[in-house]
Every structure is written in C-alpha cells, then in structure tokens.
Structure 1
Amino acid sequence: MMTDLRLKSLLAVAASALALSACGSSEVASPGEGDFGNQPTNPTNPNPNPNPGTGQAAADCPTGLANVGTVANGTLRNCQLPQQVTGNLTLSVRAGTIYSISGAVNVGVDRGLDPTSTTGSQGILTIDPGVRVFASSGGDALIINRGSQIYAEGTATNPIIFTSRQNIEGQTTESSQGQWGGIIMAGRAPQANCQLTAPVTCTGTVEGGQAVFYGGNTATDNSGRFRYVQIKYSGFEVSVGNELQGLTLAGVGSGTTIDHVQVYNSSDDGIEIFGGNANLKYIVINGADDDGLDTDTGWRGGAQFGIVTQRAPNSTSRSAAFEFSAAPTSTAYASRYLAQPKIANWTLVGRNSPIDAHTVMHFDTGTQPTLMNIVSTSVSGSTAGCFDIADVDTQTSFDGNSQPSLRSIYMSCSIAYRPANAARSTAVFTNARNTNVTANGTSTLTAPTGTSITNQNLAFINGANENAVTAIDPKSVYSFFDTVTYIGAVRNSADTWWQGWTCGLTAGATC
C-alpha cells in the first residue's frame, strides 16, 4: 500500500533518476526484439522468446519519434518516444522497428480538474495491436496526465506488450523483476486525499520529472482505453518503502475502459488504485513481489474477473493478493471519504508466508468493500491466513455497509484469519448479514495442464468444491458487472478467457 504522501515523495525522489535516464547517448541503444513487425501470430503463445533478429532494420522512424540507432545486431530500428507527447501520436506495427521509452514520458500537460478548462495541453497516445515497447531502467515510466488519453488496444491473440530491455535481450528468468518503472494514468475522478474538502476541489499531486496531478469531481472521466495489454518486469524501488508498480490508476474515472490487463513479476504491486471510479474486468496479476491489487484514497469503482497468484512460495514479504485501504486515519472516521470498492469473481492464490504478515485479503483504514463470488486460498502451511480486518474502523465499515459486504466467499487457507487480528476478522466474516461464506473449506482448484511456471502456485481453475458454492448475481449489486452463476475468476477448465493474450499461464506461453 502507498499513501498519497508516500506517492508524492516517491516520484520526487525519482526525478533525478528520470532526468538521468533521459540523457543516454544515441550511440548506445537498447537491443530490440526479434524480427518485430514480421512475427507470426500464435494464439497459444503470443510471446515468442526473444531472439537476435534476422530481418532488416527500418531506414528511419515515424514522425514524432527519435531515431536512436539500430538494435538487435542491426536488424531493428529503435524509435524512442519523446519526453512530452502533445497532440496525437500513434505507434503502429512496422517492419524492422521497435519502440522504447527513456525517462518520464508524459502524455499531455495537466489540464486541471475542471473538464471545461483550457489550461495545459492534451496528448493522445494510440498504440496498435502487437506493438511492443521496452524500457531500460527504474526511472523509465509512461505517464498519462489528467485531461489526456491513451488508446492502447491489443487483441486476444495479439496483445500490446510493455516490457524491459533485459526481456528483449532474452536475459530474464522466472525470478526477474523491477527492471523499469511502470505506467501511471491520472484522471479527474474524486479521491480522498483532501479528506474534509469537497471532492470538486480535491487535487492530489504525484511528483516526478514534473508535477503530475490527479483528482476532481468527474466520476465518469475518460482517460481512454487500455485493453489486451501485458506489463512485464516493472516496478522499481526508488528508496526504502517507495516503489513504482506495474499500473497506477490515480483519480481515473468510470469512462475509462480497462480490461484484459496482465501485470507479470512487478517488484512492487501489480495494480495500485488511488481514488477515482475506474472499473476493471479480466485482470491477471502473477508474480508481484508486493500486493496484487492495492487500493488507496477512496476508490469507488468495481473489478470483475481477476486472477492473482502471489510470488515466491516461501517469501517473507509482507504482502497480500488484496490490500484495500480507504484514507489516512488522521481524519475522523465520520468525516472520511471512504473507499467503496466492488469486487466480484476473483481467484486469489496466496504465498506460503512463514510469518504473521498480511493475509491473502487485507483490509484497513476504514475501507468499505463489497466482495462477491471470491475464491481465496494459499499454499499449504502458510501462517498468514486468508482474511484480515486490520483495525476497528474497518470492522465498523464492513458491518455498517449498506451494500452486501460478503457474499459467496470460499476460503481454504491453512488458517482462516490473520493471527494478529483473528477476533476482529472472525467477527466480520461470520456476521449474520453475510451469506454463503466458508472460512475453512478444502480447495479443489487445479492448475492449467502443462504450465511452464514454477515460481508460483498457478492453481486457479475451479474444482468441485468451488463450483458447489451458490453464487450471487453481481449485476444485481453493480450494473457494470456481468451476471454469472459461479464463484471465482473461471468457472472450470472450459472457461479460457485468460488464454491467448497472457504469458506464463500455459505451456509454451513463456514471458
């Protein structure tokens, strides 16, 4: 979890790294990936292993991109995005070409919290299916500023891939992580940073190479479309306790489309959400070293269909598949802009933690979630537990929630509740207002046949015990959700929404 203050200091410290990484010589460019633009599409493996390339580099770069030389033994032209994107810029699949980011690449200049504002400048970045973009250091990040948009839309068999230089060079392994920064999307939707002031006047600040602002009073704000995208080997520790994650959503509104997104092997969180009303569907987070889905400062959107498999079976990291927070407790509970996330149909596979760390599902600072159709399990022997209510504020939020708090939840960890907060967690989970909840089930999840990953437990396909649980219709609670008749992210082995556009979940689909 990252508070807004921590987020400010994080990117303030990162400014020097961003500036340095933007000053690389044009004579030294990062090696590229294969014969980019001429690779055949393989529905079972959209991520062919990197190779030195046998094609011919393009002679130049498209307008608006810097020609920083050739890579991959001279077979690919490395076309680098500018530090500032204003107006329209499109990245298309192009023979003999690969794209890169260096330093902080800002799309647009902040246009303020008012949608009618004429301040700043709008940028629109469009990325076509099959495009790959690489970065080389922890200071490399793509930032979509408030009032600007990204249209990154891959397909089920041809995803867009953001990855690291090492991955392009074929130097990554199942343990690789933290090789570049990540992606930040900022919008004008409300968030809790200001606490006692009206959301219409509430702006949060992310400090980086330049100021990045988020927040406003436009719940339906539209930051674009982000679909069928992989983000690999991202996340970077700028200083102790300050990290960038795979995808950061800050004040992003419900008009934004976010679905079919995978974050693989982030050194911090997979996805972290700061306020806003963003809605997400079809999310895969595997191998995050910290939390899978981390929320903060008043997120009031929804997320349906998600798979989280935690990293390193014996990791001592204090992390969770879900870590949900509302706002700093320095403000009186009754005055807070509480987080009200709606979560449906997720399967969470926690690590085998040998310490009393965060559980698979951890909730604190008064977050007020609605959880439906969730499967939560962990590797046998873990002492962390499945469920944790960290404080009295959060217990009050659960018990006082006007929406269903817990519906059709199936837990099968070695212990149900985090030992440090067992009494409070038990009281919340067993509250009579909850229905179809199981604290100590026996998991019958199975793994995809022939999985090629060994550093995570990839059992996430429902078995008989999970399929026997009566599901709630999530759409009856939140209109964004789809109607389903099962719990968990996938109904059974025939439900393959996660195939084709992800990596590392099936044989041959290596990352």
Structure 2
Amino acid sequence: SPLLGAGQDVSNTVDGSFFEAVDFIGAVGGSDDWRQGWAFGFGGGEVTAGGSEAPVAGCPAGTEAITPIDGSTTTCELEGRYTDDLTLTAGNFYALTGPVFVGGDNVDSATLTIEPGVTVYGRTGNDYLVISRGSQIDAQGTAEEPISLTSSIDVESGEGMPGQWGGLIVLGNAPSNKCPSDGSDCALQVEGAEEGAVFGGTDAADSSGTLRYVRVLNGGFEIAPDNELNGITFGGVGSGTTVEYIQVHNNSDDGIEMFGGNVNFKYVVLTNMQDDSIDWDNGYQGKLQYVLVRQNPDNSDANRGIEADNDGSNPAAEPMSSPTLANLTIIGNTFAGEDSSEGIYLREGTQATFYNTIVSGPAGMGECLEVESNPVSQGHLQDGGISMTHSVMACDNGENFKFGTSDVDLEQWFLGQQGNSVVTAAEALDGIFTATDAAAADLSGDTFFDNADFVGAVSADNDWTAGWTVGLE
C-alpha cells in the first residue's frame, strides 16, 4: 500500500521534463491505481478495474501444478474423482494421473469444461478420463484451436504412437440390451476400466455433454492380453449429447465404440486404428453423417473399418442395434489379410441402414462388405433390417462381397438396391475426396441429416477435415 502524505514536488527539484508532480510517496497512489486491468501477481491475482483481483493465470482449483512438461508451460495434474465443476483453462497443459472420473455414478454430478486449444495428456496406459453418467463434458474447440487428448511422449517429442496412454470414456443413462428386461436398475461395467465406470438406463435422450473439434491421439494401451481401451468409448450415451468434428488417430484398439445408446455423430475422422475404426454393440441406435475412415496407408496393424454387432449371446436381443449412417468413406489396407480386414462386417444380429457410402481398398484387403452367416443377420438382408442405397463398393481385391453357399447372394442383394454400383478404387476416390458422380440419396425426411448432394464423406468442394486433423497428409 502507498505511504500517503505530502510528496516532494520533483518537477521543481529534478529534471521536470520527465517526472510528474505527485502528492504521495511510493509507486502507487490511493486514488489512481495504474496497475488496473493489465498487471498480475499482486496478492495472487490480476488487478482489475475498481481495484479488485481476479484469479491469476495458473492451475484451476482442484488440480495441482507439477513440473512443466516442456520446461516452461504451466502444467496441471488431474487425479482421482471430481465432484465439482472444473474448467481446464487455455494456456496450460493438463496431465492425467491414473483413472480420472468426473462426477459419481448419477450422484455428485459435475461438468468438465475444456477450453479451445487445451492439451490433456496421459503418461501410462492407466491414465484415462471417465465422464460418469449423470455428469457432462463440455469440450468445444475450434478448427483453429482444436482440443487434444494425447500422450506425454507426443507432447514432449511429437513421436506419438498407438498405446501410449488410455483414452476417453463417456457414460450415460441410455438403453442397452444388456440391461435387465424388467426395467430395473442397470449398471453395466466398461470392460478394462476401473470398477464403477458403469452405464445404461432408460433415457434415450440423455445428455453427456458436447465434444466439438476434439482429437484423441495415440491411446488404447493394452491393459490385458487382447484387451485395450478404445480411443473413445460411448457407453449408454443418449441423443442429447452433441458429438461433431472429432478425430481418433493412432489407437491400438477401436477408434470409437458404442455400447448401446442413441448418441449421434457428424464430421468424424478415424485414422490408423490397430483394430476396428467403428464398433457398435448391444442395441446402439444412433445416427452418423460425414464419417471418414482411413486405415494406415503403410499397411501396418488394422482390422475392419466397421465391425458391428447386436449381441453375441443373443443376436435377436432387443433393443436391437440399428444405426443409420450417411456419407461414409472407408479406405482399407491389407494388413490383416482377406479373412479379417473387411471394410464393413455386420454380425451377431445387428441391423443397419447405409446411404451415400463408399468402401474402397487395395488388392489384398478383405471384402468391402460381409454379413455374418447366422439366421438373424441373414434375415435382416431379406426383411430390410439391413439396407444400403446410393452406395459404391470399390475394393480392388476382386471380391467386393463375401457370402457363404447358404447365405443371401450379397452382390446380387447390393446391386438390387437403389443407386448402388461397383467400380474401381480410382473411380471412387481421389485421395480422401469423392471422385465418383454417383447420385446421392434424398435425406430431406430426417432433420438430423444434411441433404448432401454427393456420396462419401468428403467433397473436394468442402474439405471439412482441413486445418484441425492430423495424419491425413
């Protein structure tokens, strides 16, 4: 505080051309605080108009400052369970230590807000983020400042690889056919996550928040043999959740997997998965539009573009998996060979509706499309439970379809539906962009879908992947 009193008139005793005449001693007078609005660090805060103090830039309450990962940028540690709202402010790095839960299971609910441009990282496979059912994530980046969840190695050196940390798990109260059929309480445990990461319920319109311009990179650490976390796991997530402009890249398991629920997606990029890019199970009934799947072009580890199930133990279980997909592009590779690298594999009783889809891949890849030889799955081909129109199969292995001797002739089925064709890969795509002039379906009857005038995920006239994705160079 200033020492008030009669200050010396320095304008008369010292070079008056520089010094101002003041009536106090010290740097800051009581009536004219020149620090206001721009200075930090006085009493732990920013000086604002009126002399009050706002929080200084640093780690949010509930997190702890740790050694800066890059030697200089404030780095804040998240650990344990957060039952109060938490905002991860821009300008810092955020480190996950162990499983980090937002909220309790439908109790002590909280919202995790992540500001544009923030990077959250994990250091081990046991570091992952769980949004409990009843809580929400509000992660809204921009094309210029996407939000990234990645590994410490990626942050430190840029040498991100699959399996360097866990992943993101979003849970909700939407239905699953694994829930009790009598409507009693449902609590399905996420495989591979800490006990208490549960999901399921009866609220199809449940909201788990918003993911917009979010990238999940280099995750999927193997927690047990053949058991890894997905890039993003959606367990019982409802249609009130907004998911658009997301990318999963370099994951050692699936890119996104939906266990039941009704969550919808727009503008999705899935690149370099070591297992399936899209997986759904147990009654998933959401909608997806503008989805680009590209397996690693160096033909390294990969499995299917889509591996889709209803339920392995009861293929006819209800509610039955029956998503609708439009403007989907799948670009396969040859790693897993012809027996397990299909573009789309529908099995275990799932239904599905496809519009404006392109499946492409090189010689040596599995078939573009396969439907499992069980009676429920084959029945869906005949009763309309599985449909695909205004779509293009373009796998250069010479076998676009796989079906057994007792199955529905899948090629005949495909070509018998409206607007479908079989072409070469070069005729279908130019890189990630649609090259074919195949007519698109009329989607004006569903308010979720844009009535796109092209097939496939990305038009050269509107590259919505530009500027915020990685790995598409």
Q: TM-score, normalised by structure 2?
A: 0.82
Q: Secondary structure at 1:260's aligned position in 2? A: strand
Aligned length: 414
2:122 paired residue number: 135
Q: Which has the higher helix share?
A: 1
**Which residue is 1:243 aligned to?**
228
- Verify the 8 A CA contact 1:327 1:337 in the aligned structure 2: no
**Aligned equivalents of 2:365, 2:69: Cα separation in 1:** 48
Q: Give 2:65's match in structure 1, choosing from 62, 67, 70.
A: 67
- 2:392–2:428 CA contact under 8 A, matched in 1: no
Q: CA deviation at 1:445?
A: 4.8
Q: Which amino acid aligns with 1:390?
A: E
1:81 matched to 2:78 = yes
2: CA distance between counterparts of 1:357 and 1:178? 21
Pair 1:228-2:226 in alignment: no
2:36 alignment counterpart: none
User: Structure 2 vs 1, CA of residues 67 and 87 (structure 1 numbering), >3 Å: closer, same or farther?
Assistant: same
- Structure 1 residue runs of 5 or longer lacking an equivalent are 1-57, 112-119, 448-458, 507-511
Query: 8 Å contact 1:358–1:418 — kept in the other structure?
Result: no
Aligned to 2:454: 486
Residue 422 of structure 1 and its aligned partner are, at CA, apart by 7.6
Judged with a 3 Å threshold, the aligned counterparts in structure 2 of structure 1 residues 311 and 504 are, in CA distance, closer, same or farther, namely: closer
Partner of 2:356: 373
CA deviation map 1:401-427 (0-9, x unaligned) = 36x711111011023345564873633
Residues 322 and 490 of structure 1: CA distance in aligned 2, closer, same or farther (over 3 Å): same
Aligned residue among 430, 433, 442 for 1:461: 433
The equivalent position to 1:407 in structure 2, one of 389, 392, 397, is 389
User: What are the within-5 Å matches in structure 2 for residues 115-126 of structure 1?
Assistant: 120-126=107-113
State the partner residue of 2:195.
Answer: 210
RMSD: 2.2
Find the counterpart in structure 1 of residue 134 from structure 2.
Answer: 147
Query: Post-superposition shift, 1:149?
Result: 0.2
TM-aligned CA distance change 1:320 to 1:370, over 3 Å: same
Instruction: Name the SS for the 2:210 alignment partner.
Output: strand
> Displacement, 1:198?
4.4
1:92 aligns with 2:61: no
Instruction: Tell me how far apart the structure 2 counterparts of residues 425 and 323 of structure 1 sit (CA, whole Å).
Output: 19
1:462-491 superposed Cα distances (whole Å, 9 cap, x missing partner): 11xx2x211112342x43111111100123
1:446, 1:219 → 2: CA distance? Answer: 36
1:9-408 equivalence runs, <5 A: 60-73=58-71, 75-94=72-91, 97-111=92-106, 120-172=107-159, 176-194=161-179, 197-198=181-182, 201-206=185-190, 208-311=193-296, 313-315=298-300, 317=302, 319-328=303-312, 330-331=313-314, 333=316, 335-353=317-335, 354-379=337-362, 381-392=363-374, 393-401=376-384, 405-408=387-390
> For residue 495 of structure 1, what is the aligned residue in structure 2?
462
Answer yes or no: is the 8 Å Cα contact 1:138–1:181 preserved in 2.
yes
2-side partners of 1:61 and 1:316: how far apart?
A: 39
* Alpha-carbon distance in structure 2 between the residues aligned to 1:193 and 1:475: 33
> Structure 1's 423 and 311: CA in aligned 2 closer, same or farther, altered over 3 A?
farther
Structure 1 position 202, deviation (Å)? 3.8
CA distance in 2, matches of 1:409, 1:472: 9
TM-score, structure 1 as length reference: 0.76
Q: Give, as a single letter, the amino acid of the residue that structure 2 aligns with 1:471.
A: A
Query: Identical aligned pairs, as a percentage?
Result: 33
Contact 1:415 1:440 in 2 (8 A): no
* Residues 358 and 428, structure 2, Cα contact 8 Å, conserved in 1: no
CA positional deviation for 1:397: 2.0
Q: Deviations over 1:2-32 (max 9, x none)?
A: xxxxxxxxxxxxxxxxxxxxxxxxxxxxxxx
Write the distance in 2 (CA, Å) between the matches of 1:184 and 1:315: 26
Give the AA of the match of 2:127. Answer: D
**Which letter maps to 2:438?**
V
Residue 72 of structure 1 aligns with an amino acid whose one-letter code is D
Work out which of the two has the higher radius of gyration on C-alpha atoms and give 1 or 2. Answer: 2
Distance 1:485 1:422 in 2: 37
